[in-house]
Structures are given as structure tokens and as C-alpha cells.
Structure 1
């Protein structure tokens, strides 16, 4: 891996009718009505699904997973109240959060999102689990055996581009955080996230069709 170009946090959102202001309160709400609470995702095995399944297990909410074929239909049913909560991309969910059509409870990652600066992370709310610190990321990769000089040149050029004000603004506008890591940093991130994601997949029960 040459570089992590950007990462993308998720936001936990709920329908406004759900009487919860934090993830833990959401778990309390789900436990109070066993078998009735539902959480949405944009597909089986997606980070949205894995995060929702982990939250449900952690809070003992036993909510039912409702997968969708994409984020747009997922959000439509969240807006309509057909499902109660779910993890969504910040860029897509932000207009509905700002208009009050969806309620935001927390964001994933290790720091607050510049797109939703008032929203705390799970860690700030006392939920230090690695599952909630893991975010989606976009990486630049190359085949094994590419000469080190070429890898170094690509990493240098990518880092320079990502540091320009125009690219920074474009990335933020797309709801992602520009990173521009070194190959060693990218490999360390992969090594850190892989076991977490592997455990989340196993716990969620997600299977390939």
C-alpha cells in the first residue's frame, strides 16, 4: 500500500421519534421493546451493518438488522420511521440532521468531524471500543514488486496534492478527511484495522452470497 488518501467517519442517526440522545440511551430504548427495534444499513457486510450489529450487541439491545441496497433507500426508510436507527455517511446524512429530520447521536473515529463539529465521538461519550474508532478509508495501492523509487515518488506527489487548499476543500466537501500517509503508516493502519473488522464480521453473522 502506497498511501491512505482519505478516511470517512460514520454518524449514528435515529428517527426523531426515538427517545434517545446518546448511543447508550438508544440501547436502553431497544432493550425496553425486545424484538421491535430495528437498525438499517446500506448492505450486508458493510461498515454500516458491522457498526450497527456491534452497537446492538454491546448495549444488549437485540435490534433487528434491516439491510438495504444502497444508502439512499436506507435513509428514506429512516426518514419515514420504518426503521429506528442506523450508521450513515456524514455527507449524505448531514442535510437531514441539520433540518431536524434525523437525530444524530455520535460519530465514529478518534476525533470530531469537521462536517459535524458539534457532534461528539463515541470515545468522548465513554465508549472507547476499537469498533467505533475504526473508519472507512480510501487507499492507493500498487502491485507487489513496484520499485521503491516509484513508490516514494507516488507517495510524495499524492501527499503534495492532498495538502493543497483546493483538494482539502474538495475532500471535506465530499465528507471525507484528507490524510496522505506514508507507506509504513498505511500498512500500520491496515494491520490495526484488519483484526477489528474480522471480529466485527464474525460477530455480525455476515456471509458472502
Structure 2
């Protein structure tokens, strides 16, 4: 029996353009593929293990043709819009159900600052959740198993009573191995507002 719903943020509620962001980054960085060192720094930043200042300094030191402003703009390129019907779905879920609602997002200070500035419904969105975990604030990151174990321990819940919803297959695989029920939502043809129709076998 599902008692807990754990949601990702990007491409579940907030629309992202991941492919466009990658292509834009390759273009402005003037490279053909993302080096491992860059991927590692991005991961550290998402875990809050380096500051925004250190993150930007890495890029300005390694890509000297770019300004801090250009780096921030490219970093936030993926962030798009937040359809209102998804917030309405969540508000209704909060009002009419007894599910424990948890957000579990890989993110970072620059992205959240952008969201707070450009997405007017962010505070209303956040208020819908019983617990709200951002990777850079808890120093843990998907798809590592420890972040999923953290959620279970902190909320005193069991994986077998929990549905995890994410668009990233690697994140889904880890959660499934730990016993979570999962929905690997495809943002090109699925929407969180159809949760109880799409995953009706669980409810």
C-alpha cells in the first residue's frame, strides 16, 4: 500500500530543456563534449560541496573567454516554465489525501535562485510538501543510494510503501533496487497530473 510519494522537481513539475542546455554549453564553451573534470565539478556543486563562487571561478579559470554572467546564463539555460495545472494537482493532492509528500531534487543554489526569481508559484509549490530535500542543502545526490536511504530514515518510512517519481532512469534504478515503487516518467508524453491514472495499479 502506497503511503508516501517522493517527487523529483525538474521535468516532473518544472519543465527543463536538457538537450538544448547541453548543446548551448558545448557551443559557448567551444568544446565537442563535456570533460570529466567539468562533470565532477558540476556534481560537487549539486551536492553543495563547493560554493557558487568556487563553481563560477572554476569555469572562468578554465574557459577564460567567458564572463561570470555568461556562465550563469548558460548554467540556467535548461530551466523553463512551471505549468499551473501541475501546482493545482499538487494542492488538491495535499488537501484530499493522507499521503506523505516529499520532494527530492538534484539542484543547486544558482538554479534555485533562478526559480525563486522567475517562478512566482514556487513558494506555493514548496508549501505542499511535508519534507523538501534539495541536493545542495543535504550534501547528497541522486542516483547514489545514500540519498534514498536518507529519505527513508529521516521520514521513518518504508520503501515498500513509497512511490518514487523521476524522469532520470539511473535515479529510478537505484530507488527500485532499494525496494521503492517507481515511475520513470517520460516528460515527452507523460505528465504528473495523470499519476493516479497512469499508476492506478498501485493505488
Whether these two folds match at TM > 0.5 is no
Q: Which has the higher helix share?
A: 2
As a proportion of its length, which structure holds more strand? 1
- TM-score normalised to structure 2 length: 0.29
